[in-house]
Amino acid sequence: MTTRPFPRLLRRTLLAAGIALAATVAVAQTQAPVRIGYQKSSTLIAVLKAQGALERELAPLGVKLTWHEFTSGLPLLEALNLDNLDFSADVADTVPVFAQAAGAQLTFVAQEAPSPTAQAIVVRADSPLKSLGDLKGKKIGVAKGSGGHYLLLAALDKGGVPLKDVEVAYLTPADGRAAFEKGAIDAWVIWDPFLSAAQRQAGVRVLADGTGIASYQRYYLASTKFAQSRPDVLRVIYAALDKAGKWVKSNPREAAELLAPVWGLDVATVEQANARRSYEVRRVVPAGLGEQQRIADAFFAEKLLPRRVDTLQSALFQPIR
């Protein structure tokens, strides 16, 4: 009597079970939704979401999406670091610095070319404040960790006003608008499309924008775990962002008409906001992060970061081919 058929049968059974398990895992991976975080200023993601374009582009990969809106960039990247998101739509250049200081495992996927006029320090039209030096002793509203936060630091430095000589109120865009209109703050640092809405609706005057002060680049990031496991998804997202950016700049009126109901703003306001953003999507390379170190050093010098950040050493880059 021979016992050889039993081991062969066992091997075949185990092999079949292994194949079935691998197939189950593969299906589970392809069916797991990709969680995308964004904010109101995430224009290109808003376009792709409204058009359903990203879902169509990712359908061949078996990928489904879930969308999660945040009030500003800092809580968005905090969610990414806590593994509550896979991909973050664009955040201002300041935001990754705060995340890096907290030890976040994030990977840079793309950046937008500078848009310095798309954020500004504004005052009421009848305000006596005429120069950056006039901000001394005043109360200024800004979202903590936003691009506007760095604009404030750099503008005060240019105006010769120490940060300790102003009162900073950390406010979300909505709260900042309310405080500004009530006169609870003397100046407000804000970005588009909120900036354009305030200019057209609230009677504001720009005291200074980012020209010559802060270039205002915006970054798209992914959790490092997701970047390593799904580079195929990130390649599709990058291509879609690049295409959307070119479409917005080539079709300003049509883009504004698409976004106006999404943002709850009128078409003219959206068109004005979009005119100040570059929407030029680029790969992120070390040479393109020069201003990031200046931002990190400025915040550390004011004791607004818990530790000094070497922005290049703590940066990971997603190769897009």
Residue 37's Cβ-count burial label (10 Å; 0-12, 13-18, 19+) is buried
Asked if pLDDT for residue 308 goes beyond 50, the answer is yes
Q: Where are the domains of the chain?
A: 27-114+217-317, 116-209
- In angstroms, rounded to a whole number, what is the distance separating the alpha carbons of residues 131 and 164? 18
Antiparallel, parallel or unpaired: β 187-191 and 139-142: parallel
| Positions of E strands within 20-105 | 34-39, 65-70, 87-92
- In angstroms, rounded to a whole number, what is the distance separating the alpha carbons of residues 321 and 319? 6
Confidence of residue 25 (pLDDT cuts 50, 70, 90): very low
27-114+217-317 classified as CATH 3.30.1540.20: no
Query: Are 27-114+217-317 and 116-209 equal in CATH topology?
Result: yes
Handedness of CA 115, 266, 76, 109 (dihedral sign): negative
**pLDDT of 212-230, one tens digit each?**
999 999 999 999 999 999 9
pTM for this predicted structure: 0.86
Tokens coding 108 = 């840079």
**pLDDT of 50-62, one tens digit each?**
999 999 999 999 9
* CATH for 116-209 (3.40.30.10, 3.30.365.10, 3.40.190.10, 3.20.80.10): 3.40.190.10
| Cβ neighbours around 169 below 10 Å, total | 17
Query: Rounded to the nearest 5 degrees, what angle is found at the Cα of 18, between the Cα atoms of 13 and 23?
Result: 130
**pLDDT of 32-84, one tens digit each?**
899 999 999 999 999 999 999 999 999 999 999 999 999 989 899 999 999 99
Q: In what order do the strands lie in the sheet containing 119-124?
A: 167-170, 139-142, 187-191, 119-124, 204-209
